[in-house]
A and B are shown apart, each in its own frame.
Chain A
Amino acid sequence: MSNITFFIALALYMLSSGCFIFSIGKDSKWLLRAGLISSLLGIGFHSFSLVVIGIQGGHIPITNLFEALSFLSWSLVLLFLISYLKYRSKALAGFALPLATIILLPAAFSSRAFQELPPFWQNWWLGLHGMSILLAYGAFGLAFISAIMYLLQERQLKIKSPGLLYRWLPSLERLEEINHKAITIGFAFLTFGIIIGLVWARKAQSTGWSWGGKETWTVITWLVYALLLHRRITSNLRGRKIAYLCILGFGLVLFTFIGVSLLFPGLHSFVGK
């Protein structure tokens, strides 16, 4: 059941991506509407599949690579849809849905198997910890997209031959605003997730912080986004430099999320691989 809805969601995201990409340079309300409707339907099926997995496995669906990728993609689409309520940016849609699809694609080929979790895993702390960090990653994904869009638009303006991209992309100010909001939200979730993880580790294992691969890289990621926010608020980092930092930050996110799990097995490795 969850598998069918998962694939329906994936197909709908692909359809939606296609609509948004195909609408570049055309002023087609029809395509835009089709893209939005299929992304809304997609997230509906996607949520359903996550809930079913959660109920069947008796845990929040973020324990193996399949579930985590699926959840990350879900949070990206969710955050994009929320942003769409305010900004109505079809260009953002043209990036967000393809990225969510790209994240979801490898999930289609990963193992769904999960093992029984040791007792101390089975509580809401794990869910809260994992979910808020994955939501943070989703927000950073959105920030990453807006950073790329910013760089493209900035380039168009600097080389002075504004073309198709120039007309399609929103203004620089708008992109900066989206970027800033996404990072603020992502940073809040990340911080919250880390704190929950710490408190819970102390309670469950009385070990507190352990310097595993994932923990270390998460701290590095956190530091990059903290620096970025700090520089933007207090002093004068704007424009391209912020965009580059966002791209670096998201690179770290991806590395921490996937690379580290594969390279440094430990507490945070996905189970059931």
Chain B
Amino acid sequence: MKIVVVGLNHRTAPLGMREKLAFPERSLGEALKKLLEHQHIREGVILSTCNRVEIYTVVDGFEEGKAALKDFLEDYHQMKFLEIEDKLYLYTGPEVVSHLFRVASSLDSLVVGEAQILGQVKAAYSRAHENSGTGKILNSLFQKSFRVAKEVRTNTDIAKSPTSVSSVAVELAGKIFGNLSGKKVLLLGAGEMSEITARCLSSSGVTSVLVSNRTFSRAEELAGKFQGRAVKFDKFIDEMVHADIIISSTNAPHYVIKKEDILNIMPLRRHRPIFFIDIAVPRDIEPEVNRIDNVYLYNMDDLKAVSEENLKLRQKEMERCLPIIERETAQFMNWLSSLESAPTIVALKRRAEEVCRKEVERSLLRLGKSSAAEREEISSLARRLVQELLHRPITCLKKQAGKRNGYLYAATVRDLFDLDEFEEGKEKPSEKG
């Protein structure tokens, strides 16, 4: 039994090839069935996102597994394996484990630390689970990967500084206004980007949204989505007296907001701070506006620069995540190797001896005075019973050792006799779901 992953991602293959190898959501169930039909593949999970396609499997042996995966890919995607071979990565053993942990923790993502991937891994896992693609090993592996991802996110700053343009804008607003509840947003232009940013802001507590657009009906439509208010385009300057955050994305070829406008409204605002986000190209707001006291202006390039800085920070933070991944990988591999027959037999015997010793002691205590011969007889009776009972399971385990289902026997025995709990210092990955 071996764990193997084959796949490609944004670093190894161009988009075109990733698209060719992708498994669309609706036919994923069918693909899983096909994968599991292969005689050497025991378990399988297919993770297919726009940045990566990966097939996690438990196979009988490395060579058979590799061949089976190759067949499956050629067969399913109707292509020659040779065409893609150099773009694929193929890991086995501990490399699979640490790879999955890195993927789930978003360390392998294009945007390091992004939150989506964990959801995608979870979805891929539950699809496989529904289709009976997962068994003892992949269940444990994926369950553990979710916990590792959570630990990485909470114990490091990998996901802390925002990297998307809209979340950078929200964070900046937070550093200016502190609490965003009760603050007003004014959208100039009803573009998609400003809608996304406004949505981010309103989920961070901004309560009222105003929309102004040259075409008034579009302003009304967008304002409706936020339970906001539409404002005539020639009146928006007046609204800036009350609005705190202005997101501008009009198609105007010239500046819509000039420095004088702001100089005029600042006294009316009693110089309360105001935050301009100019995401229009060409720009809507005269750059000089940023020089006015209590006025903060960020355009698209500024926001992108901040986001790149934050991304660098996350990459630096990766160093702190790797020890967690390493530790957890080692732990999982420990558990995995305990599924081999030999250590299971040893553990089973030790467990039996333990039970035997405890019960004999108890009996002798109850009996009180007894002769040496009686005592000897009692303990040998106990030993014989245990040996007789365990004889069959142990021969069976030995016989199955190295066979394709061997680990299942070992796993079952471990479950029946609670051996993981019994063995000190070996944490057993829990199995829910």
Contacts and interface: CB of A to CB of B under 8 A. Distances in A.
Given A157-B172, A235-B270, 15 more contacts: A27-B157, A162-B175, A166-B175, A167-B161, A171-B175, A171-B178, A172-B177, A173-B179, A236-B270, A238-B271, A238-B293, A238-B294, A239-B293, A239-B294, A240-B293
A172 B178 contact: yes
Contacts of B157: 27
B267 A236 contact: yes
Interface residues of B, number: 23
Interface string A206-241: 000000000000000000000000000001111111
Interface of A: 27, 153, 157-158, 160-163, 166-167, 170-174, 177, 235-241
A157 B273 CA distance: 12
B172 A238 contact: no
B153 to A, nearest CB: 13
B162 to A, nearest CB: 11
B271 A236 contact: yes
A87 to B, nearest CB: 11
Interface stretch (B38-46, B302-310, B413-421): B302-310
B81 interface: no
Interface string B171-199: 01011111100000000000000000000
A72 B161 CA distance: 39
A241 B272 CA distance: 13
Interface string B301-332: 01001100100000000000000000000000
Nearest to B313: A167
A199 B294 CA distance: 43
A173 B176 contact: yes
B294 A174 contact: no
Contacts of A157: 172, 175-176, 296
Contacts of B176: 157, 171-173
B290 interface: yes
Contact of A171 (B161, B174, B267, B271): B174
B298 interface: yes
Contacts of A173: 176-179, 273
7 contacts: A160-B305, A160-B306, A161-B306, A162-B309, A171-B174, A238-B270, A238-B273
A172 B306 contact: no
Contact of A241 (B293, B298, B309): B293
A171 B177 contact: yes
Contacts of A153: 175
A236 B266 CA distance: 9
A239 B305 CA distance: 26
A265 B177 CA distance: 47
Contacts of B302: 160
A235 B268 CA distance: 10
Contact of A239 (B175, B177, B271, B298): B271
A239 B290 contact: no
A271 B270 CA distance: 48
Nearest to A172: B176
Q: Which 7 A-B pairs have the closest CB atoms?
A: A173-B178, A171-B178, A238-B271, A236-B271, A239-B294, A174-B178, A160-B302
Contacts of A158: 290, 296
Contact of A161 (B290, B293, B305): B305
Interface in B241-276: 267, 270-273
A162 B271 CA distance: 23
